[in-house]
Every structure is written in structure tokens, then in C-alpha cells.
Amino acid sequence: MTTREEVLKYCMTFENTYLDAPFHDDNWILARYKENKKAFAWTYIKDDLLCVNVKVDPQWREFWRQAYEAVLPGYHQNKKYWNTMILDGSIPEKDIKRMLAESYDLIVSKKKRSNN
């Protein structure tokens, strides 16, 4: 998974999601959850590389940062709760998908999660 289109297509497989460009800047495209409008994936190009910010459980934050050089503290976001994935081909697709899924799970309301 190395293109924005692939990332956003995968994000749209989650229930009740939509895409948003809230900054009137085509460089930033977010995937959000419809019920609370929270973003779980922030996609943008920085230094000619596709980056994706994902919400992360603080217990797993350092695990991902240590596992891959291309996972850094969240760019322009709270470094305690967000990581940035640089999609340069060094992170296996299964782990990119796992981080996106975990981010989605974190922003879905607790009420919604308890009903599943």
C-alpha cells in the first residue's frame, strides 16, 4: 500500500466512513467516522512522500515507532495519541492495515463498540 488512493479505498471499507478535505487544501484528505465526525486517517504528501497519521493507543505507540523507522510521532498532532506512517514501501501492508483498523476502532464511540 503506497498510494493515497489505496489507503483511502481501504479506509472506506470500514462502516459509516466518509472522506473529507477540511482545510481547503487538496494535500490533506481525511477519512472520518460519520457518527461522530472524528478522523482516523489523515493523508498528505510531505517531502514528496505519502504520509498517513493514525490514532494509536498510547500502550502501542512506542511499539510501532520502534518496529519501523517510517513510523514517527504524529505530524501536527498530539504525539501521545497519534503516529505518522511514511508510506515509502518499508512498512508491510498487513501492518499498515492493522494501524488503520486500530485507529478506526479508537475513534468509534465506546457505545458503538459495546454493541458489537
Question: Residue 111's pLDDT is what?
Answer: 53
What residues pair up with 101 in beta bridges, in sequence order?
Answer: none
The residues of the chain scoring below 70 in pLDDT are: 109-116
Question: Residue 2's pLDDT is what?
Answer: 86
The DSSP code for 84 is: E
What residues pair up with 51 in beta bridges, in sequence order?
Answer: 44, 86
Helices (H), 2-57: 4-11
Dihedral of alpha carbons 86, 87, 89, 91, sign? positive
- Helix (H) or strand (E) holding 18, with range, is strand 17-20
Q: pLDDT tens, 5-26?
A: 999 999 999 999 999 999 888 8
Whether 82 contacts 56, CB under 8 Å: yes
Question: Residue 110's pLDDT is what?
Answer: 61
Question: Residue 115's pLDDT is what?
Answer: 46
